[in-house]
Structure 1
Amino acid sequence: MIHTLEADGIQLDFGLRSILSDVYIKCETGKITGLLGRNGQGKTCLMNVILGTLNSSINSVRFDGNMVRNASKRPDLLLYLPQFNFIPKTLTVKKVMDDFQLSPTEFERRFPEFNSRYDLKVNQLSGGQWRTLELYIIVKTPSLFAMLDEPFTHLNPIQIDNIKEFLVEEKANKGMLITDHMYSHLLDISDSVYLLKDGKTHQAKTLDDLDRLGYVRLDAGR
């Protein structure tokens, strides 16, 4: 069965400044939905409105057509990877895996760089390893959907390639809404892409679409 997450009718203002005014976004299980936009356009705000941790004057967030006001309290529906590190730095990798009831063996098979690192504290990992661990937890913990905010932060090129492969594999198990400034990687793995600009969402399937919408500038002779 295909499940859906939809958000529309969102009105978010900070004082006299309108952040979100005409948004529609749809995610489906089995697919990756990309969300692009320049700094300050409201991508993280939109995710937090969907999550229910940021109040907007008007919004409609629906799972399978049913309104959900505070998805942050429904981890069976939605999990969120924030931009900042959320795993306490003093925990060991083993403790984190145990707390989330995830298999260390499967984790190590997918990311061999963690071999023999289970006794290390999280703050003893590299920034990329810390991010990989957090992303793995959000994606592998059972839920219908996951929102990933800047998942490629702190990752080196090899780690990015591994994470992209992992996300494409795991989309069979849940729908994903991903935002990242590394738009080429997002285009590589996304089944659909929205660009958030001037408070509105626009569908953008190709680099030409992003050029037309003013997000990127392509060479005139391309």
Structure 2
Amino acid sequence: MSGGRPMLEVDGINARYGDSQVLWDVSLSVGDGEVVGLLGRNGAGKTTTLSAIAGVQPPSTGTVTFDGKDITGQSVSAISRQGIKLVPEDRRPFDGLTVRENLELSTDTTNGEDWDVPRALGEFTQLDERANQRAGDLSGGEQQMLVIAMALVGNPRLVLLDEPMEGLAPQIVDQIVDIVRRVREANIPVLLVEQNVDVCLELIDRGYLLHKGEIRMSGSAAELADATEEIDRYLGIRV
């Protein structure tokens, strides 16, 4: 594990929606300071995995351990207070609040004070220019930047990023890639769910291929890049 000690360990989790099982004995880990990718097609169970970690949809069996503590089945707020910040696929800033107000509302110094509103606006210059604008008036790319910034002012110890580049124009994708790199440079571990294989492999240290709720392959970014047969089989297309 290139990122050092395990920060997050997911061990054999299963998850169900009603009578349908969605995850089957999923195990993965994220090391301290590491960026780990979770790749898979739509419906593979990627978002469910993040939801299980963040407490949104607790696993039916298996364990989630964060910094050596079992957090399985804890509430979303309890898990968030410990420093796990989920950036969901459906961008959800508070539309009626300004950019600055969204950031102020999301500020949490429980796990440190490295990130505050001035730093976030300094890192995200487009948001700084729109600090007094309603979040609902931002473009899709700007809203994505805002929800990532909202996670960062929570002073996270782990960020869960769910499809941060979905539906964005190529130039905005480049900006989001740069943001993920800056998060990594800040030594904040990231679990990144992403369908854009080539972009994902540029960002991650290691990754997992999830197919129909099961981990089918794992390895370093280089190993996954070389596994063209598995990439084609489980993802069907390289973006």
Give the TM interval when normalised to the shorter protein.
0.7 to 0.9
CA displacement, residues 175-213 of structure 1 (integer Å, 9 cap, x when unaligned): 110102212111110011101113221204323325325
Q: Residues 216 and 45 (structure 1 numbering): CA distance in 2 closer, same or farther, change over 3 Å? A: closer
Q: Percent same amino acid among aligned pairs? A: 26
- Deviation, 1:51, is 1.4
2:202 aligned with 1:188:
yes
CA displacement, residues 145-200 of structure 1 (integer Å, 9 cap, x when unaligned): 11011111343222222221221222233211010221211111001110111322
Residue in structure 2 matched with residue 74 of structure 1 by the alignment:
79
2:79 aligned with 1:60:
no
SS of the residue corresponding to residue 49 of structure 2 reads: helix
Is the CA contact (8 Å cut-off) linking 2:23 and 2:214 kept in structure 1? yes
Q: Residues 21 and 103 (structure 1 numbering): CA distance in 2 closer, same or farther, change over 3 Å? A: closer
SS of the residue corresponding to residue 129 of structure 2 reads: coil
CA displacement, residues 102-137 of structure 1 (integer Å, 9 cap, x when unaligned): 655433433332343111101111111011111122
Is the CA contact (8 Å cut-off) linking 2:106 and 2:153 kept in structure 1? no
- Deviation, 1:92, is 0.6
CA distance in 2, matches of 1:168, 1:12: 31
Residue in structure 1 matched with residue 112 of structure 2 by the alignment:
none
Is the CA contact (8 Å cut-off) linking 2:30 and 2:36 kept in structure 1? yes
Q: Residues 66 and 124 (structure 1 numbering): CA distance in 2 closer, same or farther, change over 3 Å? A: same
Q: Residues 98 and 15 (structure 1 numbering): CA distance in 2 closer, same or farther, change over 3 Å? A: closer
- Which has the larger displacement, 93-102 or 120-129? 93-102
CA distance in 2, matches of 1:62, 1:168: 25
How does 1:86-165 map onto structure 2 within 5 Å?
86-101=92-107, 103-165=116-178
Residue in structure 1 matched with residue 181 of structure 2 by the alignment:
168
Residue in structure 2 matched with residue 5 of structure 1 by the alignment:
8
> In angstroms, what is the RMSD of aligned CA positions?
2.4
- Deviation, 1:37, is 0.9
- Structure 1's consecutive aligned runs of 4 or more residues displaced over 6 angstroms after TM superposition are none
SS of the residue corresponding to residue 155 of structure 1 reads: coil
Is the CA contact (8 Å cut-off) linking 1:211 and 1:217 kept in structure 2? no
CA distance in 2, matches of 1:103, 1:63: 24
Is the CA contact (8 Å cut-off) linking 2:26 and 2:213 kept in structure 1? yes
Q: Which has the higher contact order (CA 8 A, sep 6+)?
A: 1
- Which has the larger displacement, 40-49 or 15-24? 15-24
Residue in structure 1 matched with residue 218 of structure 2 by the alignment:
203
SS of the residue corresponding to residue 11 of structure 1 reads: strand
CA distance in 1, matches of 2:180, 2:237: 28
Residue in structure 1 matched with residue 36 of structure 2 by the alignment:
33
Q: Residues 83 and 165 (structure 1 numbering): CA distance in 2 closer, same or farther, change over 3 Å? A: same
TM-score after normalising by structure 1: 0.87
CA distance in 1, matches of 2:210, 2:50: 12
Is the CA contact (8 Å cut-off) linking 2:120 and 2:153 kept in structure 1? no
Instruction: Give the counterpart letter for 2:230 in structure 1.
Output: R
CA distance in 1, matches of 2:86, 2:21: 24
Is the CA contact (8 Å cut-off) linking 1:3 and 1:144 kept in structure 2? no
Instruction: Give the counterpart letter for 2:63 in structure 1.
Output: S
Q: Which runs of 5+ in 1 are unaligned?
A: none
